[in-house]
Every structure is written in structure tokens, then in C-alpha cells.
Structure 1
Amino acid sequence: MAEPLLVERAGPVLRLRMNRPKLHNAFDAGLIASLTRALEAAAGDQTVRVVVLEGEGASFSAGADLQWMRGMAAASEQENREDALALARLMRTLDELPRPTLARVHGPAFGGGVGLVACCDIAIGTPQARFGLTESRLGLLPAVISPYVIAAIGARQARRWFATAEAFDAQTALRLGLLHDVVEPEALDEAVAMQVSLLCRAGPLAAASAKELVRRAAHHAGDTASLDEANAALIARLRVSPEGQEGLGAFLDKREPRWAQD
């Protein structure tokens, strides 16, 4: 049996490719566990600078595997809760990963596949990519992935797409903010490589800390004094860190910082 996830390493770049092409990279317990383990390993590996998430075959990810869903429909409520918590752990791990993440969306993404895209820091798709939060057609809702999809497209848009289960195209995903760019298939790898190159030129600590900064600024509850204190502490810590000292020194000396020469 083929591995559900292919893990490839090229220098500082880790590529995670969902490998269930005949099932359009649909989730089951095995794929969820494999993705979670790979991401947790990346979080603990300081030599990983960027994680690229992609799918084998025609689709990025079709969401939940129908056979798996059939089994869960016959399971108890407690078993379903535990199953949902495993998916929640995957999404949380990807969203909070202390490494920049990039989704290479070459084809359709539905349900949980949309959640994966929303959790990544950068998402680039092709015109062949289609999207849908189709759970309501089954009498369900995209509950586990909802925090990340809402953060990506906004509450007003989420109310529509969660309720209608309507599919939408790549240009709509771009307009909603789910995708950052849409490029032709032959230009996808080049577009991904460009973003990877930019991320590798950034300071590793700075790039890894960017999502934490955005999350804190986006979710502060009106306490501007504590937000200012936290942001001032962050920039002070970065300025005096070895990375900050190297970056500022390289800029003043008009040379590339050491991390960009690796």
C-alpha cells in the first residue's frame, strides 16, 4: 500500500505531498495522522525554513474520505468527537507551525482541503482549482476548520459559503482572500519557487514569528497598551538577537546576511 503522505526535503524546504490520488487526496485517519506527525517534526527542526503542502494527482484535497465518513456515521458520538479532535489538532498544528507554510493548489479543494489552504501562510492556485465548503449538503457543517476559513475570508463571506455549500472558482477564492495568487498551471512551480526564495531570504526567526505577530495584532481585545508592550518587546528581542544583529549588520555593510547565502 502506498504511503498516504510523501515527505521530500531539498535543503531548507520541506515538501509534504498528500498521496491518495485515486481518492483525490481525501482525508482518513491515516492521512490526518501522517500530516500531523510530519508537521510536528518540522516544528522541532530548526533547519526547516519553509513547508510546501501539495497534492498528488488531479486534486489538492477533496476533504473527507466517503468510506471513512461512512464508518464514522456508524460510530458513537464520543468516537466522532475524538475523530474530530484529531482533525482539529492537524489544523491547529499547521496554522501555528513556527515555519512559513505555502499551499500549492493545483486542483480542487473541498471541505477539509479548504481548511488546509486557509491554514497556510501563502496559497497559490491555478484556474483549475475549485473550492467548496460542502458539508451542509450532508446535514453537517465545517465546524473544525471554521476558525481558519473565517480568518481567511471573513465572517460575512463565511456565513454565505457555509450555508449554501456552493462551489466557487479560483478567481472567487482570490477575491475572497483564500488564495493569494492565481497562475496558469505551467507557471505554478515558478510562482511557488519565487515565494520559497523570498521566504529563504528573510531572517529565519523573523519569518517564523510573523504569523504570531499577525495573530496577536488581529485578535487583541481593545487593550492597546498591552498590545504595544508586546509588540515593543518583540522588536526589541529581535533587534538584539544574533539574527537581528546579523541582518542589520549585513544591511549596513551592503552584503547578504549569512542565512541568505545558505
Structure 2
Amino acid sequence: MSGEPVLRVGVDRGVATLTLDSPANRNALSRAMRAQLRSALTDALADDAVRVVVLDHTGRVFCSGMDLTEAAGGAAEDQGVNEFPALLEMVWNSPKPVVATVRGPARAGGVGLLAACDVVVAGTSATFAFTEVRIGVVPAVISAVCLPRMVPNAAHRLMLTGEVFDARTALPTGLVDLVVPDDEVDACVAAQVAALVQGAPRALAETKRLLRVRSGSLAERFPDLLALSARFFAGEEGQEGIAAFREKRPARWVPA
């Protein structure tokens, strides 16, 4: 795996648990995190003993999105957006069900990561936001996995406003599947996993493929979305928004 360990991996009784473990930077999708997630997913999908993948996290934040300390600069390779579609595709197209465990905030790319999963279990303290427009970029890449999940008018409003919304609000939009009290999240995830492993492996894989067909091919959509995302990350608004975020000040376009 790449860099310092920021991901914990455990396999037990047919369940591979991948735990985002970089609480110091709010489990951001840094280069190391993206690389380690892809490596762990590759291993889990290749292991015939693994029936279900669970995506979990340490710390109070599920995932804060792209690591903006790595995104200040014009080169697309410095922005992380080039690698992110491949990671989302791995989760989205996984023949094995993937369950997201969300106990805290998810932002931007972190919302995309959970949206690519098959089942999302959220605690009542979880919050979500499409923060891209507020830093001058576009939720282009994650739209490929968020829009098939979400009620159109809800996605429209939440992606344009960038406002923070809670798990109870997220539930009717389709972004999350189950909302339970924080102290019941683990039990709820365990129940979903227990139900999933009752399915035959090949039947589950084919059923998942059947369900994804209605959403179209991510591989066909990602090139245009990636180009759009990269253009805004490298553009004037994107670089100003990232700088403002890092410097903890309003961006220039925010009215005084």
C-alpha cells in the first residue's frame, strides 16, 4: 500500500471491513487514502471467501472529501480527480455488496464514496453536504453515483446550495437507506450484512449488475465529468475557493 497506513483492513467470517483511519485530516481522500482503498478493494474482490465489503471509519468524520492540501495547483494529477472515478467504479461495479457505515459528517467526495455503495446505514448524528460550489468547483464526478440514488429535486437544491443536511433529511432523498440512533449503527450494519450473506454469490453479483444497468455505464460518463471537474479545480474560482478554505476566510465572491 502507498504511504503511511490510513486504512485498516479486517476480514472475518466472509466480511471484509475497510476502515478509513486518518482522523487527523478528517479521513480525507488523500493520495494515500485513494491508493490504499483501491488496493484493499482489489484484494477483497479477488478473495472468494469475502462475501460482503463494509466501509467504516474511525474518528467523528466519515470522509471530508478530497484532501484540499493536495489540490492547490493547476495540474490535474495534483487534484486527485483523475484517480477518483476508478475508485468509485470499483465500488459501484463490485460484484459483492458494499455497505457504508456513516457515523459522522460526509462532504463532497465523501458523499460520492458512500453513494457508490449498495446500502448506506447512517447514525442520527451524520451530516452531509455537497460543498463543491462553495469552493468554486463542481460536483461533476460524484454526480455519476449520487444522481441515480437521489430524488431529482432534492439533488438539484442540495448541490446548488451546498447546505449541510442531516441524516433524517438525507433519508427521503435516497442518499442513505437506513437511519438509526448512533448507538445502534453497528447492530444495523450487522443485520444488513447477515441478510446479504444469505444470497448466493453469483446471484447477488448478477442482481447487482441488473440494478446498475438502469443507471448507465459510469465508464462512458466519467471522461466528460472528469474534464469538467479538472477544469474547475484548476480554474480561477477553484483555486480561490481552495485558498479561502485553507486560510479560513470567505472567498472573494461571497458578499461582504
TM-score between both structures, scaled by the size of structure 1: 0.78
How far apart, in 2, do the equivalents of 1:129 and 1:168 lie?
9
How far apart, in 2, do the equivalents of 1:35 and 1:219 lie?
24
Q: Tell me how far 1:11 sits from its aligned partner.
A: 1.8
Q: Tell me how far 1:210 sits from its aligned partner.
A: 1.9
CA contact (8 A) 2:63 2:107 kept: yes
2:177 is aligned with 1:183:
no
What corresponds to 1:15 in structure 2?
A: 17
What corresponds to 1:237 in structure 2?
A: none
Provide the secondary structure at the position in 2 that maps to 1:120. coil
What corresponds to 1:212 in structure 2?
A: 209
Provide the secondary structure at the position in 1 that maps to 2:44. helix
Q: Percent identity?
A: 37
What corresponds to 1:167 in structure 2?
A: 164
TM-score between both structures, scaled by the size of structure 2: 0.80
How far apart, in 1, do the equivalents of 2:159 and 2:214 lie?
26
2:46 is aligned with 1:44:
yes
Spell out structure 1 runs of 4+ moving beyond 6 A.
Answer: none
Q: Tell me how far 1:218 sits from its aligned partner.
A: 5.1
Q: Tell me how far 1:2 sits from its aligned partner.
A: 5.2
Gaps of 5+ in 2: 218-256
Q: Tell me how far 1:37 sits from its aligned partner.
A: 1.3
> Structure 1, residues 70-123: CA drift from partner, whole Å, max 9, x if none?
xxx3232x4357x31201111111111110000000111001110111000000
Gaps of 5+ in 1: 221-262
Aligned ranges 1:54-69 → 2 under 5 Å: 54-69=56-71
Aligned ranges 1:1-262 → 2 under 5 Å: 3-69=5-71, 73-76=72-75, 78-79=76-77, 83-217=80-214, 219=216
> Structure 1, residues 154-185: CA drift from partner, whole Å, max 9, x if none?
43322222211111100011110111111111
Higher helix share: 1
For 1:79, give the aligned amino acid: E
Q: CA RMSD in A?
A: 1.7
> Structure 1, residues 120-174: CA drift from partner, whole Å, max 9, x if none?
0000001100000001001101111111010111433222222111111000111
Higher RCO (C-alpha under 8 Å, 6+ residues apart): 2
> Structure 1, residues 203-250: CA drift from partner, whole Å, max 9, x if none?
111122222111224559xxxxxxxxxxxxxxxxxxxxxxxxxxxxxx
CA shift in 2, pair 1:157/1:49, >3 Å: same
CA contact (8 A) 2:8 2:21 kept: yes
May I ask how many residue pairs the two structures share in their alignment? 215
For 2:6, give the aligned amino acid: P
How far apart, in 2, do the equivalents of 1:25 and 1:11 lie?
26
For 2:77, give the aligned amino acid: E
How far apart, in 2, do the equivalents of 1:94 and 1:152 lie?
14
How far apart, in 2, do the equivalents of 1:126 and 1:6 lie?
21
CA contact (8 A) 2:155 2:173 kept: no
